[in-house]
Amino acid sequence: MFQKVLVANRGEIAVRILRTLRELGIPSVAIYSEADVGALHVELADEAVLIGPAPATASYLDADAIVAACQASGCDALHPGYGFLSENAAFAARCCDEGITFVGPSSEVIALMGDKIRARRLVASLGLPIVPGTLEPVETVSEARAAGAELGFPVAIKAAGGGGGIGFRVARDPEELEQALASSRSEGERFFGNGEVYIERYFDDPRHVEVQILGDSTGNVVHLGERDCTIQRRHQKLVEESPAPTVSADVRSRMTGLATTLAAHIGYTTAGTIEGLLVDDDFYFLEMNTRLQVEHPVTEAVTGLDLVREQLAAAAGQPLSVTQADVRTEGTAIECRINAEAAHKNFIPSPGTIERYSEPSDARVDSGVRGGSIVSPHYDSLLAKVIAIGDTREEATAHMIEALDEFEIVGVATLLPFHRSLLRTTQWAEAGTARDLISDRDWLRATA
């Protein structure tokens, strides 16, 4: 395995990766910005390196500073987590050039899947279903109008380098196209350095379902079943569960077949996720995320595997611990993201200081904070994740409600009240969609 691994991230995912490194007996190095002095991940690592000021561009996105930290601390591998540089092909190539193992796919695979237009073309060329839309960048308003007329409104305009809801606009009619095109392009340029956009048919209230993939350098590719991530706000996930509550055996087999076919075709050698939309019983490829996902713990909970351990083994050239025949799933797992946000105020973020913090005793909590932690305006709002399991979805829901009721965070607004209410609704019990749940303002207002 590795001599020493640098975790190029912060918050709950850095803490999560550090835990597995400790279990494997691999020395760890954390990096931190000036805003994260005293942060939990800094304390839990064997060593920590200050890499720059608070803004992410000057710290967690600063490739030079991170490579220098690897070299100064003698790390032979780097785990990027999610976000930040995890899907940056140039950074993965840089690590490779510097002799640092990047715990993730090759820079070529990151670049291929990071360009959503190329990824769509590849999946379509394999004869697999993609969301109907353009296979080439859309340059002009008249091209956009033509695409809209062919697909039917509403349509989604998306940045080719985008993700996480950034560079994503919806045009409900031809009049909205020009503005949507301009906004999507401008966000793509600003956040991803890529102004190319494409147009897809927009499904108003689909289910978001994704398949977890693992691969290694021996050519073994397995899927670990699916996750349903339908409950979102601003195109970002809030609740995830596995297995998906509305998926039949036939649909599951088509989804997982698509995912393993694609992963095997590109020679995938680490953890990844194939995301799709489920509209009635039709599954369409949306995009592939070539990294660990925020919601990976629900898959860990139903399979009993440690995905970070599998990633590290695969990166070290070792085989995965399982073949497809070994993968067994048991029960249902649910994850609730505890963001520092006020749900009743349109999910406005809530930076500040955590005054009191007490975790539930009977559920998995992946957290990046504790009492006294500062929630900085410089980073995203995810504080912690609660993962509950049960033999059935009802039982997992009951366990989650108990855990949420016991979880106490005081000092910043959090989504704890939102999740406590959401999991008690009949819409949740009936596996409702985002529109059923988030758009029902009556119960949402009550989460103040």
Q: Determine, following the binding rule CB under 8 A, whether residue 174 of this chain makes contact with another protein.
A: no
Structural tokens at position 75:
């790390």
Say whether residue 377 binds another protein (CB under 8 A): yes
**Nearest approach, Cβ of 179 to another protein (angstroms)?**
15
Listed ranges 87-95, 116-124, 312-320, 344-352: which one lies at the site for another protein (CB under 8 A): 344-352
Q: Smaller CB distance to another protein: residue 234 or 328?
A: 234
Binding flag, residue 74, another protein (CB under 8 A): no
Q: How far is the CB of 201 from another protein (least distance, A)?
A: 27
Region of 411 (left: φ > 0; alpha: ψ -120 to 50; beta: rest) is: left
For 347, counting Cβ atoms within 10 Å of its Cβ (0-12 exposed, 13-18 middle, 19+ buried), the class is buried
The 217-256 contact track toward another protein, x by CB under 8 A, reads -----------------x----------------------
Report the distance separating Cα 435 and Cα 206, nearest Å. 9
Size, binding site for another protein by CB under 8 A: 12
CB 256 within 8 A of CB 211: yes
The reply on whether position 267 binds another protein by CB under 8 A is no
Q: Which stretch binds another protein (CB under 8 A): 23-31, 345-353, 359-367, 427-435?
A: 345-353
Q: Is residue 149 close enough to count as binding another protein by CB under 8 A? A: no
CB of 37 to another protein, least distance (A): 17
Segment contacting another protein by CB under 8 A, of 145-153, 247-255, 347-355, 431-439: 347-355
Pick the binder of another protein from 27, 132, 137, 351 (CB under 8 A): 351
What is the C-alpha end-to-end distance of the chain, expressed in Å? 49
CB-based contact 64:8 (threshold 8 Å):
no
Q: Cβ(50)–Cβ(30) under 8 Å?
A: no
Cis peptide upstream of residue 80 (ω within 30 degrees of 0): no
Q: Choose the stretch contacting another protein; rule: CB under 8 A; options: 250-258, 313-321, 342-350, 426-434.
A: 342-350
Which residue from 381, 397, 414, 421 is in contact with another protein, where contact means CB under 8 A? 381
Q: Which of 94, 169, 233, 291 is catalytic?
A: 291
Between 124 and 348, whose beta carbon lies closer to another protein? 348
One-letter amino acid of 35: A
- Is residue 373 a contact residue for another protein (CB under 8 A)? no
- What is the Cα–Cα distance from 361 to 316, expressed in whole angstroms? 35
Among positions 129, 132, 331, 349, the unique one binding another protein when judged by CB under 8 A: 349
Clarify whether 291 is annotated catalytic.
yes
Nearer to another protein, 105 or 167 (CB): 167
Closer to another protein by Cβ: residue 351 or 390: 351
Span from 43-51, 69-77, 148-156, 379-387 in contact with another protein (CB under 8 A): 379-387
Which residues lie across from 211 on neighbouring strands?
226, 274
| Contact residue for another protein among 2, 202, 284, 379 (CB under 8 A) | 379
Rounded CA Rg of the chain: 21
Cis ω for the linkage preceding 243 (within 30 of 0): yes
* Sequence-ordered list of residues with C-beta below 8 angstroms from that of 426, at least 6 positions apart, any chain: none
Contact 32, 10 (CB under 8 A): yes
- Other CB atoms within 10 Å distance of the CB of residue 40: 20
Which DSSP symbol is given to 381?
Answer: S
**Beta pairing partners, 239:** 231, 336
Q: Quick check: 60 binds another protein (CB under 8 A)?
A: no
Compute the distance between CA of residue 285 and CA of residue 140 in angstroms, rounded to an integer. 25
Is 27:44 a contact under the CB 8 Å cutoff? Answer: no
Residue span binding another protein (CB under 8 A) among the ranges 5-13, 98-106, 257-265, 348-356: 348-356
CB of 44 to another protein, least distance (A): 23
Q: List strand residue ranges (DSSP E) for 196-269, in order.
A: 197-201, 207-215, 221-233, 236-242
CB of 283 closer than 8 Å to CB of 251: yes
352 is a contact residue toward another protein (CB under 8 A): yes
By CB under 8 A, residue 371 contacts another protein: no
Please identify every residue annotated as catalytic: 291
Q: Which residues bind another protein (CB under 8 A)?
A: 234, 340, 348-352, 377-381
